[in-house]
Amino acid sequence: MRRLTVFNQITLDGFFSGPGGDISWGKKNAKDPEWHAFVQENAVGGGTLLFGRKTYEMMASWWPTAQAAKDDPVVAERMNNLPKVVFSRTLGRAEWNNTTVVKDDPAAAVRRMKKESGGGLAVLGSGSIVSLLAGEGLIDEYQIVVNPVVIGTGRTLFEGVRGKLDLKHTRTRAFNNGNVLLCYEAGR
C-alpha cells in the first residue's frame, strides 16, 4: 500500500497561511545553505505530488519558469517531472507537465491511489486537502516545519478536523535558520 505524507510549513503561532493566503514568511529563511540542501534532498524522492487548486496554481506559476530552473534546478526538475494530481471542482484542465485533475471526492480518490502500486504520495501545502484527508485518517506521516515567525492571524493546517488525531513523534531536526522539522506518524 502506498503511503501518504504531508509536508507543510507553519508559523510558530500555528498558521500555514496568513491573511489572503500569504505564505511569504516561509521563504524568509530559504537562502540558508543547510535548509536549501534539505529541500533539495527532499525533492529527490519519487512518487506523486497531491495539491489543492490554490497551491497547484501557485506552484504551476513558478516551477516551470526559467527563473525557477536557474534559482533551484534540482527542485525545479523534480517538481516539473513528477506526476501530480490536483483536486479541484473548478479547474478545467491542468497545463503543468504530468498533472491530472481529479474532480471527485479527494478522500475517495486518495483511497484508490493508496491501493495502487507505485511510489509514495505527498501533499505539499494545500491546507484544505490536508484537513480533509487527516479527518478521514488517510495521512500516514506528517512532516511539519515550524518557522520562527509569528503572524498573528491566518488559517491553521487542521481547520475543520472534528476528531482527535493521535500522532507518534518519529524525529525532529533543527536548522541553523531557526526552522524546526517535526515528523509524526499517524496513530492507528
Q: What is the pLDDT of residue 188?
A: 60
Q: Give me the domain span that covers residue 98.
A: 4-186
Per-residue confidence (pLDDT) for residue 123, from 0 to 100: 93
Can you give the CATH number for the domain in which 52 is found?
Answer: 3.40.430.10
Taking the C-alpha atoms of residue 2 and residue 5, their distance in angstroms, rounded to an integer, is 10
3-class secondary structure, 65:
coil
Pairing of strands 121-124, 167-174: unpaired
Q: How many domains does the chain have?
A: 1
Q: How confident is the model at residue 140 (pLDDT cuts 50, 70, 90)?
A: very high
Tens digit of each residue's pLDDT (9 = 90 or more) over 69-82? 998 898 899 899 99
Neighbouring-strand partners of residue 11: 147
Cα torsion through 74, 51, 102, 100, rounded to 10: -10
d(CA 118, CA 46): 9
Rounded to the nearest integer, the mean pLDDT of the chain is: 91
pLDDT for residue 43: 67
